[in-house]
Chain A
Amino acid sequence: MARVVDGAESMARAEASQSERQTTPRSILLIDCGSVFTKLALVGIVDNQYRLLARTQVPTTVAPPYADLLIGVREGCQQLEALTGRRLVGPESILTPEQGDGAGVDTIAVTTSVGGPLRLLTTGPGREALAGLLYKSLGGLFAQPEALPVAPVEAAQDDPAWGELVAQLRALRPHAIVVIGAPSTGIRGAGTITDHAQSVARWLEVLRSAPREDEELRLSSLPVVFSGTTEDGMTLASTLRSATAMVHTVEQLTPATIGPLSRALNALYDGVVLREAPGYTRLRSLAGPATATLTSLAGVARFLAHHYKMNVAAVDVGASATMLAGATTNGEFLPALFPQGGVGPGAGYVLRAVGAPSILRWLAVEADENIVREYVLTRILRRRMIPTTQLELELEYAMAREAIRLALHAPGSRLSGLHPVDVLLATGGTLTNTPHPAHTALILLDAMQPRGITSLVLDSGRIATMLGSVAAVAPDVAAQMTENDAMPSLLGTAVSVTGRPEDGQPAVRAFLEYEDGKKDNIEVAAGALARLAVPHGRRALLSLYPAPGVDVGLGPGQQARASEPVEGGALGLIIDARGRPLDLPTATMERMARLREWRTAIGIGGAR
């Protein structure tokens, strides 16, 4: 873990030195190239503080009919021009640096998830033994690792099982193969490097032969990244000499050397994923290399955790990927990613991963598997579409819950073990544009299932995912923006209790004491959800009296009195006494009734 922190610190030092080389920017254009929309935000100085001046979004133009990312960027700039009256685009390109008349911007920072994740096939004698370190090295990268099985020496061409395996691997559309060398310590690896090198060579040959039309070029020169000793690297390179164009060897993976593999894969992401996106190369020449959205979100989570000395988790349910970024008070970074699953074109991945019943269980209205499948297919086929009916909204938020849970419990994720989560930040279009903020709160509580006291915060400016890229060029700007615009909206304070009281007793009693002496209290039964409004601008001290056996975060039966007052917000105080893990009734009618109860309790109007 110490090495992860070291890695983060060295990155911060690199960012700081980069920023020292630049003059302080007067204005920044943030561009987030997503899989469905390109989002742009203009940042400038207002009252000596960096503030969000305007933001907009346009459909991505990465696919036909335009097939050029920059067309969407230019259109977005023109929309910002219309909103702010400031000229951003010249005859050729975006104006930079800022001109004497205020036109243009000093800095352009790009984040992206376009093109999807870096899809990696992982193998090697050390892959199993060093899996934990491998996942740490992938932490913060927009990458999707999949295990590459050892190829049989003589695979029968007509063996259906072999044919199916080859088809599956081709369908993954891998960008690279990562070979993890044997661990250096006493742990024995699985097989020798020679065995694995020969297996990789066979795979490269199979993947190269008769590829699909669109994959021909890439699969013909699939790069291989090797982490291990120089000697093993030479063995691998020698075996693969005729099979691939590139074998990139980095230091052996140990707790002290996670960085080299991470950097190599990050470079690969820029080189093979992003550069495939039409127009990216020209955008890169304008703005420099893009930061993966997850990496950017991670930067924001780390900043918040460091700044507030709290455990923070940021949640972004996107159209094609779901990203969580956790950061602890001691600087530990806990990313969690479902790289191809979201609520838009990525909905199919969520459905296939969890099945229709898992989606249906979150619906308070009657629906069947056909409805779920048709909705998901429609979202795959109509990429820009968002819900237009109450049923579609229910399905969207059910998908969001499952996508978050898939990310939270993805292989290598340690975020699910983070307790307490002091701040839960919701960002991205799905969570920030809901008909009522209670939808966002309930999705977070249902999916993340925090324990103890958690501040639920909404990135209403929808710029959190862009700010990490600013940190690379201007850390002060990112810090001010995060405080001023990325986290301005407190949804409410949630108290999530665990354990069950004795029969007939309330699970917890909560007291609020306002600064003007006014008091308020509520008793919440086990299995219930309740809300106590705390108006905007009001502050109140919170006291919690759990029943014996019920834990509000300090241990079973332990009473709690907050040292800091609870701030007023859109929802106020939420008491979640539904228990952990959250169990939904299995009987359909009972489950739907319970879901409606919870929605009504938290303030979602019209819950039927």
Chain B
Amino acid sequence: MTTWALDYPLGRPLLPAAQLTRRRPATGLTPLVQPGDRVRADQPVAEAPDRSRVVLAGMAGRVREVTPGSEVSIEGQVMYLAGTLGLGGSAVGPLAFLARGESIAMVAIPTGAILVYPQRIPLTLLQRAISGGVGGIIAASVSGLELEAISRLDLTALYDGLIPEGDRFPVPVILTEGLGERVMDAITQRILTQRAGEYALISGLTDPRRNIRPEILLSLPPDSPVMPLPADPALIVGARVRVVAGEYRDAHGQIVQLFTHRQRDQIGMLTESARIRMENGLMCVTPLHTLERLA
């Protein structure tokens, strides 16, 4: 018996190498590229006639389509990381971390960069980052009320599709783990740390009804081998998974057994469950609905 983890539009929250096409909005701008051109992630693909505004490619690859005054479509090989929820539209910039050991009230804000904060981001820092001109924010988590306060949105209404203002938030914000007090997943943090300084294309657009998730795209060298899409989301024996809720939240491991019958979980509910061998070698039984497939 198998079941699926279907929370992500491409099948999994992390794809080491995928071929994707993304449209870069260029409303009112003049294209600088033509279909077939190869582009770098930090390369301008459109600009305003007075050069006051420039749109960067965001991902290395090939220009597929150019609609003058509207958009430039680019296809490339990328590493894909999906967030849990987000706000705002898309942005391009180098990944940047805050200097260690400095107070968040005083630390220098990397203007124009995509700020990575691998913990719960405090309201003060969120405000400083936005007013300080970051291109975007990737954080592990945030307080729900604080995010609603700064966005001045009822997020339940936003994600129910009742208000269209989500993409009008001044900068894209991506929360990799979600709301509450969460630290960034170890794999995600490692990847972002390794790619610090490199350009990323991020999108905060989130629409759970259509399973649209915020995303982080990190360019790969041309002609990197890519995996077919959608990636298989089946929770099967041997699959590498991470636990996103419950007693073993944040643990990584491998499914070693899928139970034929439902098991009682820690609060006494009967749930379809799997036995997981965690990275520390211990075994645990956890409900399937708490699992995300990584590989």
Q: What residues make up the interface of A, taking CB atoms closer than 8 Å to B?
A: 58-61, 63-66, 75, 79, 82, 167, 171, 173, 212, 214, 340, 345, 347-349, 351-352, 369-370, 373-374, 376-378, 380-390, 392-393, 433-436
Chain B residues near A383 (CB-CB < 8 A): 7, 208
Chain A residues near B162 (CB-CB < 8 A): 171
Between A and B, 9 residue pairs with Cβ closer than 8 Å are A64-B9, A79-B1, A345-B209, A376-B156, A381-B84, A381-B159, A382-B244, A384-B6, A385-B245
User: Given the known A-B contacts A214-B210, A381-B159, are A387 and B11 also in contact in the complex, defined by CB atoms under 8 Å?
Assistant: no
A383 to B7, CA, bound (A): 7
A376 to B180, CA, bound (A): 12
Task: Check B11–A65 contact: CB distance below 8 A.
Answer: yes
A376 to B178, CA, bound (A): 12
Chain A residues near B144 (CB-CB < 8 A): 370, 373-374, 377
Task: Check A65–B9 contact: CB distance below 8 A.
Answer: yes
Greatest chain B CB density within 10 A among A61, A171, A214, A348 is at A348
A149 to B253, CA, bound (A): 56
Return the chain B residue nearest A606 by Cβ. Answer: B268
Chain B residues near A348 (CB-CB < 8 A): 156-157, 159-160
B257 within 8 A of A: no
User: Given the known A-B contacts A171-B163, A377-B159, are A388 and B179 also in contact in the complex, defined by CB atoms under 8 Å?
Assistant: no
Name the one of B159, B265, B270, B289 contacting A380, with C-beta atoms under 8 angstroms.
B159
Task: Check B6–A59 contact: CB distance below 8 A.
Answer: yes
Task: Check B164–A171 contact: CB distance below 8 A.
Answer: yes
Instruction: Kindly list the 5 A-B residue pairs having the minimum CB-CB distance in the complex, ordered from nearest.
Output: A435-B268, A65-B230, A348-B156, A388-B246, A374-B144
User: Given the known A-B contacts A64-B9, A382-B244, are A82 and B269 also in contact in the complex, defined by CB atoms under 8 Å?
Assistant: no
Chain B residues near A345 (CB-CB < 8 A): 208-209
Name the one of A373, A381, A385, A436 contacting B290, with C-beta atoms under 8 angstroms.
A385
Give residues of chain B (211-234) contacting chain A, Cβ–Cβ below 8 Å: 211, 229-231, 233
User: Given the known A-B contacts A58-B3, A167-B164, are A373 and B156 also in contact in the complex, defined by CB atoms under 8 Å?
Assistant: yes
Taking the closest CB of chain B, its distance from the CB of A458, in whole angstroms, is 13
Name the one of B145, B161, B229 contacting A173, with C-beta atoms under 8 angstroms.
B161
Task: Check B159–A65 contact: CB distance below 8 A.
Answer: no
B8 within 8 A of A: yes
Task: Check A66–B230 contact: CB distance below 8 A.
Answer: yes
Chain B residues near A376 (CB-CB < 8 A): 156
Taking the closest CB of chain A, its distance from the CB of B178, in whole angstroms, is 6
A59 to B211, CA, bound (A): 13
User: Given the known A-B contacts A171-B161, A435-B268, are A352 and B11 also in contact in the complex, defined by CB atoms under 8 Å?
Assistant: no
User: Given the known A-B contacts A370-B145, A385-B289, A435-B267, are A380 and B156 also in contact in the complex, defined by CB atoms under 8 Å?
Assistant: yes
Taking the closest CB of chain B, its distance from the CB of A222, in whole angstroms, is 18
B4 within 8 A of A: yes
Name the one of A61, A75, A378, A384 contacting B179, with C-beta atoms under 8 angstroms.
A378
Chain A residues near B3 (CB-CB < 8 A): 58-59, 75
User: Given the known A-B contacts A79-B1, A384-B7, are A377 and B155 also in contact in the complex, defined by CB atoms under 8 Å?
Assistant: yes
B 1-19 binary contact with A (CB < 8 Å = 1; else 0): 1111111111100000000
B201 within 8 A of A: no
Task: Check A381–B208 contact: CB distance below 8 A.
Answer: yes
